[in-house]
Amino acid sequence: MKLILIGGALTLAATIALAQDFGGQEDQDYAAQLWQAMQERNLAGDDAVQAFPYEGTDPHGMMLETSYTDATIDGHTGALVIKRNYGPEGVTVDQVLGSPGDHLGAVTIMFRRGEDYAPDSGNWFWAKYLPDGSLDQTPDGMPIAGKAQGCIDCHASAEGEDFLFTTNADLR
């Protein structure tokens, strides 16, 4: 995609093109299907199975839980990485284990879609949910779902080619 700057601002056409690559209605609908699939398997929501939290860092949270599984959305089965992001700064493992809902700030996911979804970024679909399952938003109001460039830019620096910092597992 070519961006055209006029007077230091993106043209309307470029802004619309960017919105279509990230956070549009199709991405929001797909993210809703993923949240529903996670809830059905007790991987998200009030009844989510809890793993042992570990120390985290920004932008995710001061304590994290990461789960690796797969999911089937629209007939496609792909790897699913679920990260629960806890805070605030100074929160302890015992506090998170004792009352996870009081400390959960967000749930971030990576779901590996089909081979030609986003080959330059491992074909990952990214989403950031608030604890109630609604999508978090960027400061300018764009829902965080789809080909989230901020997520991609950061995760591109992970070792290997899987865009994951926490494992070198073969998640196809």
pLDDT at 50 over 70: yes
> In terms of pLDDT, which residue wins out, 76 or 148?
76
**What is the pLDDT at residue 2?**
34
**What is the pLDDT at residue 29?**
97
DSSP H helices, 68-155, are: 93-98, 100-103, 149-155
pLDDT band at 169 (very low <50, low <70, confident <90, very high): low
**Domain boundaries along the sequence of the chain:** 7-155
**pTM exceeding 0.85:** no
- Pairing state between β 9-10 and 54-55: unpaired
How far is Cα 14 from Cα 11, in angstroms, rounded to an integer?
A: 5
**What is the pLDDT at residue 12?**
37
Backbone region of residue 46 per phi and psi (left: phi > 0; alpha: psi in -120 to 50; beta: other values): alpha
pLDDT band at 170 (very low <50, low <70, confident <90, very high): low
**What is the pLDDT at residue 61?**
83
Tens of pLDDT along 65-96?
999 999 999 999 999 999 999 999 999 999 99
pLDDT band at 10 (very low <50, low <70, confident <90, very high): very low
User: Which residues does 55 contact at the CB level (< 8 Å), separation at least 6?
Assistant: 62, 63, 64
Tens of pLDDT along 93-140?
999 999 999 999 999 999 999 889 999 999 999 999 999 999 999 999
∠49-55-112 over CA atoms, to 5°?
55
How far is Cα 60 from Cα 86, in angstroms, rounded to an integer?
A: 8
**Helix count (H) and strand count (E) of the chain?**
5, 8
- Show the tokens assigned to 1: 């995609």
- Show the tokens assigned to 13: 């056409």
CB 117 within 8 A of CB 123: yes
DSSP three-state, residue 77: strand
> In terms of pLDDT, which residue wins out, 15 or 136?
136
